């Protein structure tokens, strides 16, 4: 069963509180460094306006400390300004979330109008899921829409207690959340086969639950990134100076056992004399990294093998860079995997903070089926977790 969406709501003349995830990356001066999360919400926002509704938008931004001066860069003003540019309509920015400014702006709101509330995490009640705060926020609007996929794994007030304040027929998910859920469903439930997962990134410990859950569903799980060396060490190989989680060797051994021949480890490596730009590099074949060298990327034979497996696949899910891609000299593995996904005619999905960043950086984001806007939410979904924020949205029909 699918969740009720904005399509199912009666919107004419209604004020719609949309929980968006406008927690955008910011430059040092606080400006919007990447507006993908804002652009991703536009289909939902435009649909509501086109159907005679008005918008009250609420989001968090950054990690406010409670100190007004220090938190100034986390005010929503620049996000509101960028949204106004992208949507081509004025956006009224309220200087509080549920206080007199917000109340006045929402009272004055006409069909087609847009109010952006102040950073929801400036309010202590948000993290605590406080019912008083939830009532005040819900009281500004007639309906509630969750289009904040990147926050769906959180139980904060604006995600759970606020929608609970509305009658069920006035709660829905937006098109972004709908799209994210659809692709996850096609990955996890009955994927087209062969189905391949590519896992990399910094730590095995972040991804144990994901690897376990995916092993039960995929045909192959290709490993790269720094987590490789914890697996190799668990198998008794030498890993030189490579990153390793020494306290996770037993976990890695257990995953190897569980996986049988589904788990594929790199057969060669790009190693460096130092883990930074400008270091001496060489290719090492086989599972052992020489003393004094750092494993920084998968090697050319591994790239060729992984690309061949991805080419055969009907479904590919990828999380975690294959190497320290931020340094050009260590980026070839990650770039090659991104290109292989881009060229695949199958369903291809990428998720995770740095993974999404890599695909964007290589200019390939539009050529995969889906780049998730959720880091933590995407990973927890791949672990098979269910979210309270979605449980409060009724099923369709
Ligand atoms: P995601 O955010 O996509 O889930 P992670 O947070 O798990 O990914 O890991 C991303 C980080 O892992 C990247 O910043 C990358 O530099 C780092 N990384 C990947 N491989 C290596 C490696 N071999 N050595 C050092 N760092 C690595
Ligand atoms: Mg990350």
Ligand 1 centroid – CA 224 distance (Å): 9
Q: pLDDT value at position 293? A: 98
Out of 89, 203, 262, 311, the active site residue is 203
Which of 150, 200, 202 is the pocket-test mutation for ligand 1 (most atoms within 8 Å of CB)? 202
Q: pLDDT value at position 29? A: 87
Active site residue 203: yes
Ligand 2 centroid – CA 225 distance (Å): 12
Reported confidence tier of residue 397, pLDDT bands at 50, 70, 90: confident
Secondary structure E strands in 148-293: 171-173, 195-199, 220-223, 263-264, 268-272, 281-285
Reported confidence tier of residue 30, pLDDT bands at 50, 70, 90: confident
> Does residue 355's CB lie within 6 angstroms of at least one atom of ligand 1?
yes
Ligand 1 centroid – CA 269 distance (Å): 15
Contact 181, 3 (CB under 8 A): yes
Which tens digits make up the pLDDT trace of 79-92? 999 999 999 999 99
Q: Is the pLDDT of residue 105 over 80?
A: yes
Active site residue 179: no
State the CB neighbour count (10 A cutoff) for residue 13. Answer: 11
Q: Which two tokens stand for residue 345?
A: 């005619």
Which tens digits make up the pLDDT trace of 265-299? 999 999 999 999 999 999 999 999 999 999 999 99
Among 233, 306, 320, CA closest to 267: 306
Among 186, 216, 137, CA closest to 315: 186
> Does residue 206's CB lie within 6 angstroms of at least one atom of ligand 1?
yes
> Does residue 323's CB lie within 6 angstroms of at least one atom of ligand 1?
yes
Out of 99, 209, 240, 376, the active site residue is 376
Which tens digits make up the pLDDT trace of 151-209? 999 999 999 999 999 999 999 999 999 999 999 998 998 899 999 999 999 999 999 99
Which tens digits make up the pLDDT trace of 230-254? 999 999 999 999 999 999 999 999 9
Instruction: Pick the residue whose CA is nearest to atom 10 on ligand 1.
Output: 201
Side-chain-side CA neighbours of 21 within 13 Å: the count stands at: 26
Which tens digits make up the pLDDT trace of 363-372? 999 999 999 9
Contact 13, 141 (CB under 8 A): no
| Distance, C-alpha 6 to centroid of its chain | 22
Ligand 2 centroid – CA 211 distance (Å): 16
Q: Which two tokens stand for residue 33?
A: 């460094």
> Does residue 243's CB lie within 6 angstroms of at least one atom of ligand 1?
yes
Instruction: Pick the residue whose CA is nearest to atom 7 on ligand 1.
Output: 201
- Residue 240 CA: distances (Å) to CA of 237, 270, 293: 9, 12, 5
Q: In whole angstroms, give the CA distance from residue 142 to residue 171.
A: 10
Q: pLDDT value at position 156? A: 97
Which of 229, 302, 321, 355 is the pocket-test mutation for ligand 1 (most atoms within 8 Å of CB)? 321
Q: Is the pLDDT of residue 1 over 80?
A: no
Helix extents (H) in 271-367: 300-312, 332-343, 353-361
Residue with tokens 């987590």: 227
What does pTM read for this prediction?
0.93
Q: For 169, left (φ over 0), alpha (ψ -120 to 50), or beta?
A: alpha
Among 142, 157, 189, CA closest to 388: 157
Active site residue 240: no
Q: Which two tokens stand for residue 313?
A: 């696949």
Rg (CA), the chain: 23
| Atom of ligand 1 lying closest to residue 324 CA | 16
| Atom of ligand 1 lying closest to residue 351 CA | 3
> How high is the mean pLDDT of the chain?
96
Which tens digits make up the pLDDT trace of 116-161? 999 999 999 999 999 999 999 999 999 999 999 999 999 999 999 9
3-class DSSP assignment, residue 116: strand
Q: Exposed/middle/buried for 111, CB within 10 Å: 0-12, 13-18, 19+?
A: middle
Instruction: Pick the residue whose CA is nearest to atom 4 on ligand 1.
Output: 352
Q: pLDDT value at position 248? A: 97
> Does residue 201's CB lie within 6 angstroms of at least one atom of ligand 1?
yes
Name, in order, each residue with C-beta under 8 angstroms of 66's C-beta and a sequence gap of 6 or more: 124
Active site residue 37: yes
Q: Which two tokens stand for residue 339?
A: 């290109």
Q: Exposed/middle/buried for 67, CB within 10 Å: 0-12, 13-18, 19+?
A: exposed
Which tens digits make up the pLDDT trace of 310-321? 999 999 999 999
Q: Which two tokens stand for residue 280?
A: 């001496």
């Amino acid at each position: 069963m699918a969740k009720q969406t904005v399509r199912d709501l009666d919107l004419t003349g209604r004020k719609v509180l949309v929980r968006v995830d406008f927690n955008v990356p910011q430059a040092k001066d606080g400006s919007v460094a990447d507006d993908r999360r804002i652009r991703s919400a536009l289909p939902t926002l435009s649909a509501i306006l086109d159907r005679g509704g008005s918008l009250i938008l609420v989001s968090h931004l950054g990690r406010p400390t409670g100190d007004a001066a220090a938190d100034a860069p986390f005010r929503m003003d620049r996000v509101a300004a960028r949204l106004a540019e992208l949507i081509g309509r004025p956006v009224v920015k309220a200087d509080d979330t549920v206080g007199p400014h917000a109340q006045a702006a929402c009272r004055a709101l006409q069909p087609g109008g847009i109010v952006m509330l102040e950073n929801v995490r400036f309010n202590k009640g948000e993290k605590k899921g406080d019912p008083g705060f939830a009532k005040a926020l819900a009281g500004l609007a007639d309906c509630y829409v969750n289009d904040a996929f990147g926050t769906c794994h959180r139980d904060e007030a604006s995600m759970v207690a606020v929608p609970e304040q509305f009658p069920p027929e006035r709660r829905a998910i937006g098109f972004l959340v709908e799209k994210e859920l659809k692709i996850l469903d096609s990955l996890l439930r009955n994927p087209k086969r062969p189905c391949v997962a590519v896992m990399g990134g910094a730590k095995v410990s972040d991804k144990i639950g994901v690897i376990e859950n995916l092993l039960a569903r995929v045909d192959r799980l290709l490993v790269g990134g720094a987590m490789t060396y914890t697996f190799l060490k668990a198998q008794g190989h030498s890993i030189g100076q490579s990153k390793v989680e020494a306290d996770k060797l037993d976990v890695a051994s257990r995953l190897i056992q569980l996986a049988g021949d589904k788990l594929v480890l790199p057969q060669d490596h790009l190693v460096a004399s130092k883990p930074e730009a400008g270091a001496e590099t060489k290719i090492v074949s086989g599972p052992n990294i020489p003393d004094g060298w750092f494993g920084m990327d998968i090697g050319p034979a591994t790239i060729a093998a992984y690309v061949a497996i991805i080419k055969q696949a009907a479904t590919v899910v990828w999380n975690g860079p294959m190497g320290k891609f931020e340094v050009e000299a260590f980026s070839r593995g990650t770039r090659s995997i991104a290109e292989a996904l881009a060229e695949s005619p199958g369903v291809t999905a990428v998720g995770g903070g740095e993974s999404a960043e890599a695909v964007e950086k290589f200019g390939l984001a539009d050529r995969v089926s889906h780049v998730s806007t959720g880091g933590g939410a995407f990973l927890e979904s791949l672990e098979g977790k269910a979210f309270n924020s979605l449980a409060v949205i009724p099923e369709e029909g």
